[in-house]
Amino acid sequence: MASYPSIADDPLRALLDAAVDAIVLIDAQGLVVGFNRSAEQLFGYRAAEVHGCNVSMLMPQPYRGEHDAYIDRYAHTGERRIIGIGREVVAQRKDGSTFPIDLSVGEFSNAGVRGYVGILRDISERKRHEAMLRQNGEELRRIFEYAPTAMTTTDLEGHILRANRACAELLGCRIEELVGKRHSDLVHAEDRPRLLAAYAQLREEGGEFRQEFRYPRRDGTEMQALLYSAAVADDGRQQMIISELVDRSALLAANREAEALRGRLTHAARVGQLGEMVSGIAHEVNQPLTAIANYAHACRRLLQSGDATPADLIAPLEKIATQAERAGQVIRGLRTLARRGETPRQTLQVNQLVREVLPLIEFDARQAGIRLRMQLATGLPPVHCDEVQIQQVVLNLVRNAVEAMNGARSSDVIDIVTSTQEPRFVEIVVMDSGPGIAPEAADRLFEPFYTTKPQGMGLGLSICQSIAIAHGGELSYYVNERAGATFALRLPRLD
């Protein structure tokens, strides 16, 4: 091979070999005249192998074939495409493998030799890193776009930057229609100030919020959604807000439906209970009516006798009034209990409620030889409740006690006790001295359809418990120290 003049001879040689970057010198024809140590490592060639060869051997096709033309074009036109600029190109090692490099090219002219110097840096690692970042970014974008949950990102003013498919679907519009809009303009006008305030807080303080908002849809329907929003902070400064929207309409509708069903069931159970007690109740009304008739006859006889003074009539007439009131009370109790659906909650005294409901069961108790004994605490705070439903609970508990004791004949008293219970309850306790409840049955008492009675429905206690819970209270069962069972209904006190 001919020997080419080399400017890379000492002292430049040492300098070139010390460089971290690969340096390749070529003459005006493109033949290699210098190849430093880093270049040897990068390409796998010894300097001697490339000296005098066309530099195009260091690049893959199609650049290899075109390189001479590049040099020619520059020599004739002076048009710089790479010289003094630098760019990313592809290089080829001795073993044929290719790799990306950052190439900067300069021109030199020294001792009558003109040529070009190329400084090369392997950027495979940087490229791999960039590709990975791109792939991660793409993956994240896809996860966001195809996530089954509705999501948006907004700037700190609440303008939507991105919205995904699920979000557009939920709101009944296209993604493009959402981007750029203020999130607050999507919610019901009445909810807007609340959302703006929540965003303002995120902007100022960061953190997150969870609140429910109404979103009107284009088709005129309205969606009730839970909005979870969190501020994304960098270096302690808020950058943007990410949000997730969860449609609650279906859940709320199901809850409403379940609530309506519960109401119907409660009513049906009440009517069933009344049906079973009807002969007792009829008797309970009949008794005062008979008494009234008797006292009225007595008054007439007194008057007919001619001996009676007005004072003689006062006592029987008072009895008539008392009996009439008693009959009225039973009928009132009956009428309220037969009422359909929920009645509005009102402020009530539990003592009065107990007094009103017991006459409805008194006859059945008497028939079984059982006395209903009221121990009503004075000065109880009021409660806020659905009167009919709480009457239903008390009636159910007393009826269960009567049925448990009927036949057992172990004792003849059921205690109905009211009191306050710390920290915040008013309590109505029904305590019997029947056979009590076996431990294995105790676990199932409040299960729907659990009954030990041949004609029982097993719904009473489960309905009573759900009424108690709906009032923010509780219904519990205790084993009595001596015999029998105790049920305690606790209702939140209103003071």
Residue with token string 């107990």: 354
Residue 446's contacts (CB-CB under 8 Å, 6 or more residues apart) are: 461, 462, 465, 475
Chain positions 403 to 422 lying near ligand ADP, rule: CB under 6 A, are 404
- Other C-beta atoms closer than 10 Å to the C-beta of 160 total 22
457 near ligand ADP (CB under 6 A):
yes
CA distances from 121 to 16, 100, 256, 314 (A): 14, 9, 69, 121
489 near ligand ADP (CB under 6 A):
no
434 near ligand ADP (CB under 6 A):
yes
**267 closest CA partner among 257, 277, 256, 259:** 259
437 near ligand ADP (CB under 6 A):
yes
Distance, CA of 50 to chain centre:
70
Nearer to ligand ADP, 383 or 485 (CB): 485
Sign of the CA dihedral with 270 first, then 276, 279, and 283 last: negative
Stretch that binds ligand ADP, among 87-95, 305-313, 386-394, 444-452 (CB under 6 A): 444-452
Stretch that binds ligand ADP, among 22-30, 107-115, 183-191, 393-401 (CB under 6 A): 393-401
Confirm if 414 and 471 have CB atoms less than 8 A apart: no
H or E element, residue 104: strand 98-110
Q: Binding ligand ADP by CB under 6 A: which of 26, 38, 432, 468? A: 432
386 near ligand ADP (CB under 6 A):
no
Question: What separation, in Å, do the N-terminal and C-terminal C-alpha atoms of the chain show?
Answer: 110
# chain residues binding ligand ADP, by CB under 6 A: 21
CB of 273 to ligand ADP, least distance (A): 9
CB of 354 to ligand ADP, least distance (A): 17
Q: Binding ligand ADP by CB under 6 A: which of 4, 99, 144, 450? A: 450
Residue with token string 């091979």: 1
Residues written for the chain: 495
Residue with token string 């020294």: 110
Question: Six-digit token pair at 242?
Answer: 């990410």
CB of 465 to ligand ADP, least distance (A): 9
364 near ligand ADP (CB under 6 A):
no
Stretch that binds ligand ADP, among 12-20, 76-84, 251-259, 449-457 (CB under 6 A): 449-457
CB of 189 to ligand ADP, least distance (A): 48
The contact set with ligand ADP (CB under 6 A) reads 396, 400-401, 404, 432, 434, 437, 441, 445, 450-453, 456-462, 485
